[in-house]
Chains A and B, each alone.
Chain A
Amino acid sequence: MNIIICIKQVPDTETKIQIKPDSSGIVTEGIKYVVNPYDEYAVEEGVKIKEKFGGEVTVISLGPERAKEAIRTCLAVGADKGIHLNDPAFEGSDSYATAKILAKAISQIPFDIVLTGKQGVDFDNSQVFAYLSRFLDIPFVSVVVGLELSSDLKSATAKREGEGGDKEIIQVQLPAIIAAQKDLNQPRYASLPGIMKAKKKEIKNLSLSDLGLSPDEVGLKGSRVKIENYSQPPERKAGRIIEGEEPAEVCEKLVKLLREEAKII
């Protein structure tokens, strides 16, 4: 099995995000970056598939120089190789342009399954896998919480989260894209030998010219969504603590407030 995993480096979920004074973007100084949490499930699943069926796991990431750390993190938990799509021309790419670049790189190598996260927790787009599915002309299943490959490796059965907790069991022909949801597995921690080995694994750099794309197809120019300005939503303020001697008194007061002041029950 040739397993490809798309991973993105994103701000740690604890990070406070600040807007630049001219509203043109976010302040990137001081941000701590991590592997997108959903992509960790994708990586774990890829490594599990390799352990079961054999093959090779390639992690691929589009991002600036710092994204190498994220690739390295994935190599430490069992991925074999990294591809870093690293070119200043890629900067500002939206999901559409990102998928175009990823697709170009992926189609240069053999692949049987492509794993992604269900969402990047930075832009919260949930789109890259869909555009990727079109550019690679293969199907996708998103919000996947269970995955089983057929023994002939020609298809997979995916369990996806539908609405209201319903689970859809979907059979998909391979190659396909699987977008991981949190419940898919329990990502392992990197072991010390894993971290040591990762240092020797290959990370290949690919730039615009390596991919045969034109500058107009990538970055802001190649994007379909144009962000006009950024703003910080107003902070939610603390309301009031409902005082009372007895729980019953407090509850009565609460219900009265919800009914008469907030008018919601």
Chain B
Amino acid sequence: MSIWVIAEQKDGKLKKVSLELLSLSKKLKEKTNQDIGCVLLGDNLESFTQTLGNYGADKLFLIEDQALQNYSNEVYSQAIADLVKEHSPKIILGGATAQGKDLLPLVAAKLDAGLAIDCLDIEIDENSKLICTRPMYAGKVKVKCTLESSIQIASLRPNVLEVLPPDTSKQAEVVKVKPRIDPNSLKVKLLEVKKEARGKIDLTEADVIVSGGRAMKSAENFKLLEDLAEALGQATTVGASRAAVDSGFAPHDIQVGQTGKVVNPNLYIACGISGAIQHLAGMITSKCIVAINKDPEAPIFQKADYGVVGDLYKILPILTDIVKKLKAQE
């Protein structure tokens, strides 16, 4: 028996959630003594072998083909489903990333399996039944659920579980797989990927997010947020409230909230955001929340770890300066 992790890479970089999933699988393995299979799809994947082995993969299936260079739910799900039918793992775990949210439901559908999506934690009992903890109603409720199908599939929210230290002596047995793809049978074709010029990491994977609300007043003023984000370091990016997006100050893909992205950074800085329930739904699980708002009665202060009452136009440039100086000293 084995537990499978669907790892994810993009443009030569492994997603951190893949390591979170391997770490989780090691814990599940301890309890049930199943080995860990890891599946990676794409083209030219050899460079990931070392890392995935070190972090816990016993067996590594590299599904390689030029046709897999770009993601498509149709081909990716077929390649995974074929491999699953051949090897019969009973547990499949993946990341609740942009890709995972599109891919895993189709994998589940093709395998006639149940799927618990966006889990905050995944445990296992002695009968190898998964117990998945996941949010519902925009995080207002948490449920524990189990899966009533011979194959159990769950996806894990990025940034929630820890990555256990690697064991550099551990290697994975590598199995190369050629997917069966009949180009004539495909109904979905990727014509083009329009790269976002910002080139920032996805909000769902960011460590630090600086967000702006209606008070930003224009797209230009978002520069203030970008400057602070940049000063704060690597995996940082900028977010927005719906009011800011609907007013045209920011693109929709950076909206945080119930009808935007659910984010889970270490630090979330809300600037000129009042803290409506739909916004909170998207960021309430951030490890630390800072609110900058000129209204001391703004509801966001009820949820923030640190609050600054004041004008963001005065605060942000000073804050950015101080952070820059601090980082420069290091």
Contacts and interface: CB of A to CB of B under 8 A. Distances in A.
A147 to B, nearest CB: 14
B148 A239 contact: no
Q: Is the interface of A mostly helix, strand, loop or mixed?
A: mixed
A16 interface: yes
Interface in B62-101: 71-74, 97-99, 101
Nearest to A176: B187
Contact of B136 (A124, A165, A226): A124
A130 B144 CA distance: 23
A139 B110 CA distance: 12
A130 B187 contact: no
Contact of A228 (B73, B113, B131, B304): B131
Given A168-B193, A264-B267, A224 B148 contact: yes
B191 interface: yes
B302 A251 contact: no
Measured as residues with beta carbon below 8 angstroms from the partner, the interface class of chain B is: 35 or more
B315 A247 contact: yes
Contact of B260 (A17, A122, A182, A254): A182
A140 B106 CA distance: 9
B326 A259 contact: yes
A255 B321 CA distance: 11
Interface in B116-162: 116-118, 131, 135-149
A167 B193 contact: yes
Contacts of A157: 191
A262 interface: yes
A14 interface: yes
A152 to B, nearest CB: 16
A170 B115 contact: no
B163 interface: no
Contacts of A126: 101, 105, 117
Contacts of A121: 137-138, 258-259
Nearest to B237: A164
Interface string A107-146: 0000000000000011111110111011000111111010
A13 interface: yes
Contacts of B31: none
CB-CB nearest 10 A-B residue pairs: A224-B114, A165-B196, A130-B105, A163-B98, A239-B305, A134-B109, A183-B252, A165-B253, A167-B194, A163-B202
Interface of B: 10, 71-74, 97-99, 101-102, 105-106, 108-110, 113-118, 131, 135-149, 187-196, 198-202, 204, 208, 232-233, 251-255, 258-260, 266-267, 277-278, 281, 284, 287-290, 296, 301-310, 314-315, 318-319, 322-323, 326
Given A124-B136, A166-B196, 10 more contacts: A121-B138, A123-B136, A123-B137, A223-B114, A225-B147, A228-B131, A228-B145, A242-B307, A251-B319, A254-B290
